Amino acid sequence: MSTTMSFRSSLLRPLAVAALAFGLAAPALAADGHGTPKPPREEWSFAGPFGTFDQAQVQRGFQVFKEVCASCHAAHLFSFRNLAQPGGPSFSEAQAKAVAESYQVQDGPNDAGDMFDRPGRLSDRWPSPFPNEQAARASNGGAYPPDFSTLAKARTYEVGFPGFLIDIFTQYQENGVDYIHALLVGYEEPPEGFVLPEGAHYNKYFPGHAIKMPQPLTDGQVTYTDGTPETLDQYSRDVTAFMMWMAEPHLEARKRIGFQVMIFLIIFAGLLYFTKKKVWKSVGH
């Protein structure tokens, strides 16, 4: 079809925005992702009908985000107060406040008409590392580090037939986090004959393999205080779990309420079934 064709030919492919179109049966990477392996399916504490976030893991993930990712990636929908809400890192209010106060936030204008800096408050949004997209691109070799707010839900990969149907029954919704974890641990040397563009890095799981983001995490980079192994794999899992929480902060409530609703509906359906049977008992149909 000419319309779609013209869109594809005018395809401006920025480096950080991967090929991600995905629908019910929609292949995201079928055409462009030749040679891109599917990310392995990982175990996540928040997967499945009774999934919950591992509080310690999400707290460690926040530490990785704060110390590493946040220097380039914004999270403009994320507020300091979110750190203290239930169903995530669930820091105490005092801890969240301490985090907020460690940042300087621009406020104003004051009565004199001037903007001024003050320590952050719980109600403040997470400060962005760059004032605008252009500044972010200028500092990152032309690539725009995507905002973390909804990123774990904004990434996926093609599952293909019949897997996409099986996923309905197994409740697989971890496409985004599986991809992100695979990407974070997927940096390797380019294979023989692969021409890597200037300033790009080879990543096994990135569509097209040439990613502008240098490998962000390495073993021993972040110091954990709870004795958790300080490995790339662990950092990646922790920060990815944190990203899932940031993208879906009410995931725990959703699954908990969902189970209650299911119980109610199944019992209700059972009662209706037997009532219906009784009503129709005397009528052949």
Partner 1 sequence: MSGHSTFEPKHPALKWFESRLPLVGLIHSSFVAYPTPRNLNYWWTFGGILSLMLVCQIVSGVVLAMHYTPHITLAFDSVEHIMRDVSFGWLIRYIHANGASMFFIAVYIHMFRGLYYGSYKAPREVLWILGCIIYLLMMATAFMGYVLPWGQMSFWGATVITNLFSAFPVVGPTIVEWLWGGFSVDNATLNRFFSLHYLLPFMIAGVVVLHVWALHVVGQNNPTGVEPKSPKDTVPFTPYATIKDGFGMVCFLIFFAWFLFYIPNYLGHADNYIPANPLVTPAHIVPEWYYLPFYAMLRAVPDKLGGVLTMFGAIIVLFFVPWLDTSKVRSGVYRPLFKQFFWIWVAVCVGLGWLGAKPAEGGYVIAGRILTIYYFAHFLIILPLLGLFEKPKAVPASITEAVLGKNKGAAPASAGVSAPQTKG
149-208: contacts with partner 1 (CB under 8 A): 149-151, 153-156, 161, 167-168, 171-173, 175-176, 207
Residue (20 or 68) nearer to partner 1, CB = 20
**Position 56 contacts partner 1 (CB under 8 A):** no
Would you say 37 or 229 has its CB closer to partner 1?
A: 37
1 near partner 1 (CB under 8 A):
yes
- Hey, which residues between 70 and 129 contact partner 1 (CB under 8 A)? 77, 82
Give the count of residues interacting with partner 1 (CB under 8 A). Answer: 74
Interface with partner 1, residue 276, by CB under 8 A: yes
Of 121 and 230, the one with the shorter C-beta distance to partner 1 is 121
- 160 dihedral zone (left: phi>0; alpha: psi -120 to 50; beta): left
Per CB under 8 A, contacts with partner 1 among 211-240 are: none
CA 90 to each of CA 44, 58, 83, 180: distance values in angstroms, whole numbers, following the listed order: 18, 9, 6, 23
Residues 17-46 that bind partner 1 (CB under 8 A): 17, 19-32
Q: Are 84 and 90 in contact, with CB atoms under 8 Å apart?
A: yes
Supply the minimum distance, in Å, between the C-beta of residue 167 and partner 1. 7
Interface residue with partner 1 among 87, 146, 186, 216 (CB under 8 A) is: 146
